[in-house]
Amino acid sequence: MILDSKIPEGPLAEKWSRHKFNIKLVNPANKRKYDVIVVGTGLAGASAAASLAELGYNVKAFCFQDSPRRAHSIAAQGGINAAKNYQNDGDSVYRLFYDTIKGGDYRAREANVYRLAEVSVNIIDQCVAQGVPFAREYGGLLANRSFGGAQVSRTFYARGQTGQQLLLGAYSALSRQVANGKVKLYPRTEMMDVVVVDGKASGIVTRNLITGAIESHSAHAVLLCTGGYGNVFFLSTNAMGSNVTAAWRAHKRGALMANPCFTQIHPTCIPVSGDHQSKLTLMSESLRNDGRVWVPATKEISEKLRKGEITANDIKEEDRDYFLERKYPSFGNLVPRDVASRNAKYVCDEGRGVNETGEAVFLDFRDAIKRDTEELIRAKYGNLFDMYQQITGENPYKVPMKIYPAVHYTMGGLWVDYNLMTNIPGLYALGEANFSDHGANRLGASALMQGLADGYFVIPYTVGDYLAQTPYAKIDTDHPEFQKAEQEVKDRISKLLDIPGEKTVDYFHKRLGKIMWDYCGMARTEEGLKKAKSMIKELKTEFWSNVNVLGGNEELNQSLEKAHRVADFLELGELMIDDALNRNESCGGHFREEYQTPEGEALRDDENFAYVSAWQYVGEDEEEVLHKEPLVFENVKLTQRSYK
Amino acid sequence: MNLTLNIWRQKNNVDKGGFREYKVSDISKDMSFLEMLDVLNEQLAEKGEDPVHFDHDCREGICGMCSLYINGKPHGPLQTTTCQLHMRSFKDGETITIEPWRAKAFPVMKDLVVDRSAFDRIIQAGGYVSVNTGGVPDANEIPIPKRIADEAFDAATCIGCGACVAACKNASAMLFTSAKVSQLAMLPQGQVERKERAEKMIAQMDAEGFGACTNTGACEAECPKGISITNIARMNREYFSAVVSSENV
């Protein structure tokens, strides 16, 4: 299989403009003859569904939540990047492009990332026009803050609720199209399969989560905007319902899965408090603008702290190790996420962790409060501080926050070309569900940017190019391929319900999560990965013989919903391990202990691994086949990432 | 701690439903309320009993999916979402009563899960600025005073959970509707459709079967995001000024 990324010819800065001119258009009067399915209603899905409906296409939008407004984009806190250079501090499209490529440790496509930076400026305009209340200065103009991996202030924000405000903006645009009759909404509906007819995506099979009805929907194109798969780790900052099912079913129908091992571990999350933990809560990266990360200078002091003999505020300045500021003087606390996470792990591994489990470091606002007053800090981060206090019972204005890295985002995802189309014609993947823009590590405030770039400003053009070459006649849902897919879904449901097992779905999910975290988390080794692979194989076998899925299909059944998702996570987990094993280098969030610089930084191998790994499913219990898309860098020079 | 739970169980939207009592033990004070229910559900599942169904997703207090009427208060004793409520707010040996939102416009689907699509339809009636993607002015072209932007943000922070409706003796959706009407009425971008928006959203709110507002302030007191009833006053003003010049009369 040859992977054609379809990157347009020409200089980097002109590629997108040229491409927009060269691709085919659908006449405005003919757009109503095409149906498009959008699965997922987060930033990518809602913006795509609204924009395509505005153009005149007939859209069906699906989400598993009770309303499109609940999609997990809503939880993004810190902000959204855009190369507006409103601060006059030297930002530009090229600098945002460069920071993103470098931040991704040179494992993303230049052309995609440049386009992302280019359209970033339009996103802010669009959101403001929708009535998104971004933070403003006293003069009435938009405010910015800085984020990790950048030395300019280019992050737009709405207190600590930027994702919420952007999603509600996209949701309002979507709602308007629902009112106009151009979008039909299907909430509480889960996509169970993609239907491929004659090699082209022709629709989906869904399950109504209230009635259990299995239904087919046909369309000329299918867009998967279904987010990331961080919940393979059980504990992550993802929502409880976030899952890989849509992407994974597409994968099993032939769509390639790219760079699945590239996982982002976010440095600032509230540490695990016990076995009951169901999810982890992020504390926005924006806090690192003012908070200082530290641990005690010695193990002995940490031990006293853990025993409760002293508190953080008793520790003298000279006994504090501000390890990020010490090791990375120029970026300090604002190093990229992978670097910050790894260093937190190192100091905790040395025994210098600060809570009962030994897996936490301090994020301290003492100096910021002294400098700027508590009032100003409250204005900036009030909701985050409140959330921290509610969860932990501690007041972060008085004692330093305790944080630890947690799984947050997955850079890997379905392989797509420049048009965001997977290798299955007519099947697209947008936002976190695809792999395209963040390489091996995503910079803060870039996920919102990518989701909205894909939905508002990329897909409306590129999907037209495909539809213009597609006949108006739609495949009917009576087609044998639809019937077959429906039957397979029903069979799988019966199979799950009929297993005479004893263990709950969560029992398996927790075990899978622990294997993934221990062996395919912040640090990975060949030995560990091999061990994990056999453990997952065993767990999968056990799942299919010993899971107990209660209730029936024809009802609201949350354990059946979970069982489907966990079954897919078990298969994905194994592929992530394969991918991590194949990549004999360290880059970004993928850290193989065998490959590091003497200072403990990620050691890339550009000669052998400057490629996208794209995996092809070939059959049940068979090893997946690896395809490589070489990454060509014509504009940036590959260097050892340095934030010192 | 050990607790007795008195939980509303209802098979589906036609079943009559009723309370059932459960016991949970060894609950840690650091657990969230929903994690406590997870523990109960694991217990039930191990015994082969149908778990208690409830809505939840982000568990960060922002998606608005979790609900639950706990001991007679929406989202329980604190002014927060149920997912952010922790067991340290309860005492050992306590009996906790858990019900779904009760409102005609929010029919119960199963156990504690209700249908809140009425809220979506209120937004669809006019909770937006009618701009298409592309062709909009530069974001800094229209300065907005910080005070106005902040006030609009305060209204926009509504998570659409429905606690205001559940708290109200009339099951009124005025706080929810007014939050969106206010946000857009305050911003320059919302001016063009200002009157039409207020009229249409209120008409939809009434059509959904939500009750009228009698200014008790229960919604504001229970709103996990602290949305102020000033928004209701603002919406009333918007509405009156809209109807006196309305073309729909």
Q: How many angstroms separate the CA atoms of A339 and A148, rounded?
A: 10
- What is the pLDDT at residue A438? 97
Residue ranges, comma separated, of all CATH 3.90.700.10 domains in chain A are: 266-408
- What is the pLDDT at residue A274? 86
Across the strands, what pairs with A264?
Answer: A409
Whether B22 has a pLDDT exceeding 60, the answer reads yes
Contact A582, A258 (CB under 8 A): no
**From the candidates A69, A107, A337, A604, which is the catalytic residue?**
A337
Contact A74 B62 (CB under 8 A): yes
Contact B86 A393 (CB under 8 A): yes
Contact A347, A295 (CB under 8 A): yes
Contact B133 A47 (CB under 8 A): yes
Contact B127, A177 (CB under 8 A): no
- What is the pLDDT at residue A381? 87
Q: Which of A125, A131, A164 sits opposite B184 (nearest CB)?
A: A131
- What is the pLDDT at residue A389? 93
Other Cβ atoms within 10 Å of A349 Cβ, number: 12
Length of chain A: 644
Q: Give pLDDT tens digits for A241-274.
A: 999 999 999 999 999 999 999 999 999 999 998 8
One CATH from 3.55.40.20, 2.40.50.140, 3.60.20.10, 3.90.700.10 for A266-408: 3.90.700.10
Hey, what CATH class is B117-244 in?
A: mainly alpha
For B160, nearest residue in chain A (alpha carbons): A69
Q: How many angstroms separate the CA atoms of B37 and B54, rounded?
A: 9
Q: Give pLDDT tens digits for A105-147.
A: 999 999 999 999 999 999 999 999 999 999 999 999 999 998 8
Q: Which two tokens stand for residue B237?
A: 């003003």
Contact A126 B134 (CB under 8 A): yes
Q: How confident is the model over B210-217, as a mean pLDDT?
A: 97
What letter would DSSP give residue A215?
E
CB pairs under 8 A between A and B: 220
Whether B248 has a pLDDT exceeding 70, the answer reads no
- What is the pLDDT at residue B249? 56
- Our CA-based measurement puts residue A614 at a distance from the nearest CA of chain B, in whole angstroms, of 30
Q: Give pLDDT tens digits for B49-66.
A: 999 999 999 999 999 999
Q: How many angstroms separate the CA atoms of A414 and A432, rounded?
A: 9
Q: Give pLDDT tens digits for B82-131.
A: 999 999 999 999 999 999 999 999 999 999 999 999 999 999 999 999 99
- Our CA-based measurement puts residue B197 at a distance from the nearest CA of chain A, in whole angstroms, of 12
Q: Which of A132, A137, A391 sits opposite B146 (nearest CB)?
A: A137
- Our CA-based measurement puts residue B23 at a distance from the nearest CA of chain A, in whole angstroms, of 17
Contact A106, A99 (CB under 8 A): no
Q: Which residues of A touch B32 (CB under 8 A)?
A: 278, 391
Q: Which of B42, B86, B128 sits opposite A390 (nearest CB)?
A: B86
- Count how many Cα atoms sit within 13 Å of the Cα of residue A4 in the half-sphere of its side chain: 6
Q: Which residues of A touch B61 (CB under 8 A)?
A: 387, 390
Contact B49 A84 (CB under 8 A): no
Q: Which of B130, B132, B139 sits opposite A142 (nearest CB)?
A: B139
Q: Which of A136, A173, A274 sits opposite B144 (nearest CB)?
A: A136
Whether B76 has a pLDDT exceeding 70, the answer reads yes
- What is the pLDDT at residue B247? 75
Q: Give residues with Cβ within 8 angstroms of A198, minimum separation 6.
A: none
Closest CA to A82 of A67, A97, A72, A68: A97
Is B3-110 in CATH node 1.10.3720.10? no
**Mutation site, A74, A357, A456, interface B, largest B CB count within 10 A:** A74
Q: How many angstroms separate the CA atoms of B103 and B121, rounded?
A: 16
Where helices occur in chain B by DSSP H, the ranges are: 33-46, 117-124, 146-156, 163-167, 174-186, 194-207, 218-222, 230-244
- Is residue A641 flagged as an active site residue? no
DSSP string covering B114-142, please?
E--HHHHHHHHTT-S----SS-PPPTTSS
pLDDT < 50 stretches in chain A: none
The ipTM estimated for the assembled molecules is 0.98
Contact A441, A589 (CB under 8 A): yes
Contact B63 A129 (CB under 8 A): no
Q: Give residues with Cβ within 8 angstroms of A244, minimum separation 6.
A: A226, A229, A231, A232, A565, A568, A569, A572
Closest CA to A307 of A247, A240, A239, A353: A353
DSSP string covering B23-52, please?
EE-S--TTSBHHHHHHHHHHHHHHTTPPPP
Across the strands, what pairs with A320?
Answer: A296
**Mutation site, B50, B89, B128, interface A, largest A CB count within 10 A:** B128
Provide the 3-class DSSP secondary structure of residue A316.
coil
Provide the 3-class DSSP secondary structure of residue A384.
helix
In CATH, what is the architecture of A480-605? Up-down Bundle (1.20)
User: In angstroms, what CA-CA distances link B249 with B188, B199, B243, B246?
Assistant: 26, 11, 7, 6
What residue ranges do the domains of chain B occupy?
Answer: 3-110, 117-244
Distance of CA A298 to the CA centre of its chain: 36
